[in-house]
């Protein structure tokens, strides 16, 4: 047969596959109707494995993996179709969220006045009383105990990566992400009035600020002394009144503590930025929200994570972040944190979460917010 003749033959086979696919989906719809009444599960891993084993029993080694992948995809598409149908038929799946955000009069942040966290808090909550605390844990504890209605914490930095402690605290304190703000990092070298750059011998700051300003510090032979926060460093330099000591901090921190900026923009990566998020006791969903954060665990099956991530793609959802963390309960078991585009009011997103809720051992929505990138 010629190439054109072979293509015609493939087209004929594809048409036959199409008809069989539509027939299969019609049967799947009837299955969904029955399961909607009985409460039976859509996903039956043992049955799917048994079907594939039976169908591939007489296949050669060359075609068996390809046909297995083909059938798994057919079954996956069928399950998605059934979940959508069951929701149409009234399956119970409620997302507990508020459409109006409670008034936040008191906001917690980690650090001191003049820190990047305080600056982010002032932008996210311009009218609130801002309460500084010593640690991220205290931010979450204050909200949980009613000392503040919300908190602002860093979630990720473009240079240093994710702040994993915050992810862990979201779960342990049962709080939610409601808003985000991207703060561009612009480090300054600041010292007491009258000091000159050639006077400086030591510099105080947070380790990340040192890493982000390493080239500048090396160029001038400055010795770094670690402090818990850039604003803490600025405060200490102001109190010491020593012209040989400077701080790497924000311009806002320098101004707040009466320091003089000797050099501005000393961080070598000018695109460096930190993503801050607002957290509270309540999951709030606004019409303009376009980002969703979830955390989930995977079944103990080969390829389960790849399968779960594939489900997001099947619903046309774009994953923007994924992180893993030990679940803290069993060795070598993990929780996966995923950010993706969408709005929780959208029916497609509701169907996606319904399927994940039915098929995963654990899943929780931990945030809904507007992407400010």
User: Is 296 among the residues known to form the active site?
Assistant: no
CA–CA separation, 236 and 255 (whole Å): 14
Q: Which residue has the tokens 């996903």?
A: 43
- Pseudo-torsion of CA 2, 3, 5, 10, nearest 10°? 140
Greatest pairwise CA separation for the chain in angstroms: 90
309 vs 30, 163, 180, 336, CA distance in Å? 27, 23, 24, 11
Q: Which residue has the tokens 């179709």?
A: 81
Give the active site residue among 136, 274, 312, 340. 274
Helix pair 304-314, 64-88: axis angle to 10 deg: 50
Backbone angles phi, psi at 247, to 5 degrees: -125, 145
Distance in Å from the first CA to the final CA of the chain? 56
Give Cα 160 to chain centroid, integer Å: 15
218 vs 244, 250, 322, CA distance in Å? 16, 20, 35
Give the active site residue among 125, 276, 312, 336. 276
User: Is 140 among the residues known to form the active site?
Assistant: no
- Which residues are annotated as catalytic? 274, 276
């Amino acid at each position: 047969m010629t190439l054109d003749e072979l293509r015609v033959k493939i087209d004929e086979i594809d048409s036959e596959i199409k008809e069989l696919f539509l027939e299969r989906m019609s049967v799947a719809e009837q299955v969904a109707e029955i399961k909607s009444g009985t409460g039976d599960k859509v996903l039956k891993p043992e049955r799917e494995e048994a079907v594939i084993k039976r169908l591939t029993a007489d296949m050669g080694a060359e075609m068996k993996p390809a046909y297995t992948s083909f059938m798994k995809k057919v079954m996956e598409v069928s399950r998605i179709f059934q979940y959508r149908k069951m929701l149409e038929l009234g399956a119970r799946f409620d997302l507990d969220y508020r459409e109006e955000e409670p008034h936040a009069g008191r906001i917690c942040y980690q650090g001191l006045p003049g820190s990047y966290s305080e600056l982010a808090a002032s932008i996210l909550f311009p009218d609130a009383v801002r309460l500084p605390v010593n640690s991220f844990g205290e931010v979450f504890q204050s909200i949980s105990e009613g000392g503040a209605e919300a908190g602002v914490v860093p979630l990720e930095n473009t240079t240093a990566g994710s702040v994993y402690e915050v992810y862990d605290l979201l779960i342990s304190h049962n709080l939610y992400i409601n808003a985000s703000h991207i703060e561009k990092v612009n480090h300054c070298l600041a010292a007491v009035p009258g000091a000159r750059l050639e006077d400086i011998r030591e510099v105080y700051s947070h380790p990340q600020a040192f890493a982000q300003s390493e080239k500048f510090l090396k160029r001038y032979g400055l010795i770094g002394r670690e402090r818990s926060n850039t604003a803490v460093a600025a405060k200490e330099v102001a109190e010491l009144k020593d012209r040989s000591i400077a701080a790497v901090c924000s311009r806002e921190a320098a101004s707040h503590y009466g320091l003089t900026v000797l050099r501005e923009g000393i961080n070598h990566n000018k695109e460096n930025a930190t993503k801050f998020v607002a957290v509270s006791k309540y999951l709030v969903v606004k019409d303009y929200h376009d980002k969703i954060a979830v955390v989930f665990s995977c079944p103990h099956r080969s390829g389960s994570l790849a399968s779960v991530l594939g489900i997001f793609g099947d619903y046309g959802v774009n994953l923007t972040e994924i992180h893993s963390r030990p679940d803290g309960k069993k060795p070598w078991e993990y929780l996966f944190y995923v950010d993706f585009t969408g709005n929780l009011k959208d029916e497609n997103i509701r169907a996606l979460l319904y399927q994940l809720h039915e098929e995963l051992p654990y899943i929780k929505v931990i945030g809904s917010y507007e992407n400010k990138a």
